[in-house]
Chain A
Amino acid sequence: MTHEMIQQKLFALYDGPLTEQERKLVESHLAQCAECRRAIAQGKAVSARLFPVHTFSEAAEDAFVAKVMGRVRSAGEKVESWTTLFFRWMVPLAGSAVVAGWVFFSVLSDSSSFSSTSSSNVEAAFSSDSSYSSGSGNGIVLASYSSQDIVP
């Protein structure tokens, strides 16, 4: 293995992922090569200065955890408030819209058949409705129909 090839593997030796054979080769080269020993020494010095092992006090760790948990909780509350809002308003609104839609379209479909029938048929159809007056106009008939026969 040449000097250049060893240099490529110098830090692999330092980091650990060399095969046993490679490690022996690099180590025997290091014993004879001042330049490579300097490179390793410089690397270690840089690493020790720029990446020291950080230690945090227990109080600092607790404070950090408290801050993160505070943010997680407030994020949770925001989500919850939207959820609450959804169930409190959107579900009843959606339910009402469905009922209103059903009433509306039922009335429309029935009123179209209603318009095609003669008034006598209408009177016959509503003869069971005690509130219906034969003298009423179509509007009154519709009102009576929708309020008493459709809505439970």
Chain B
Amino acid sequence: MLQNHTDAEEAAQDIFVKAYRNLPKFKGNSAFSTWLYRITTNHCLDVLRKRNRRKTYSLDALVEEEGDSIHRLFSSDAVAASQMENRDLAGKILSTLPEDYRMILTLREADGLEYQEIAQTLDCSLDAVKGRLSRARRQLQENLRHFLREKDVYKEE
């Protein structure tokens, strides 16, 4: 969500400290995990808004700068880069998406939340979750279409 490991770890610390301070405000109206995810999403959005004034990646700029690395990432026969490098590259690829797409993909794909949990976390309807998730996936695949070679994709199966 935050593109790189260092920022993510710092944000994770901030979120736990924030949750600790706000613990008396938790009334049990939702699951504790949903409450914590809500704090997390709000905090990440704050960080992203501040950072947007700093650096974002357009798709073209990212392809120009990291095209070879992205090819390697999606190539099944290439030597795998370190986990940290891949993580940072994945963050850059996701940063080409709008914030709300990035957020919903992270909640679903990285955190494994069910649609209902996502709806509670983002305070929106179930239909909104389905629609946004579908659009986010389509756009991500569209952005990466030149890197998704058939022979590599089908090896995933």
A residues adjacent to B (C-beta < 8 A): 8, 11-12, 15-17, 38-39, 41-52, 54, 64, 67-68, 71-72, 75
Contact = CB atoms under 8 A, between A and B. Distances in A.
B123 interface: no
Interface of B: 9, 12-13, 16-17, 20-21, 73-74, 83, 86-87, 90, 93-94, 105-106, 108-110, 114-115, 130, 133-134, 137, 140-141, 144, 148, 150, 152-154, 156-157
A2 B20 CA distance: 50
Given A15-B115, A45-B153, A71-B17, A64 B130 contact: no
A49 B13 contact: no
B105 to A, nearest CB: 8
Contacts of A45: 74, 148, 152-153, 156
Contact of B9 (A8, A16, A41, A64): A64
A51 B109 contact: yes
Contacts of A17: 114-115
A39 B145 CA distance: 11
Secondary structure of the A side of the interface? helix
A46 B148 contact: yes
Nearest to B76: A45
A139 B90 CA distance: 85
B32 to A, nearest CB: 17
B77 to A, nearest CB: 14
A42 B153 contact: yes
A50 B16 CA distance: 25
B94 A50 contact: yes
Given A45-B153, A64-B12, 5 more contacts: A45-B152, A47-B109, A50-B94, A64-B9, A71-B13
Given A41-B153, A41-B157, A68 B137 contact: no
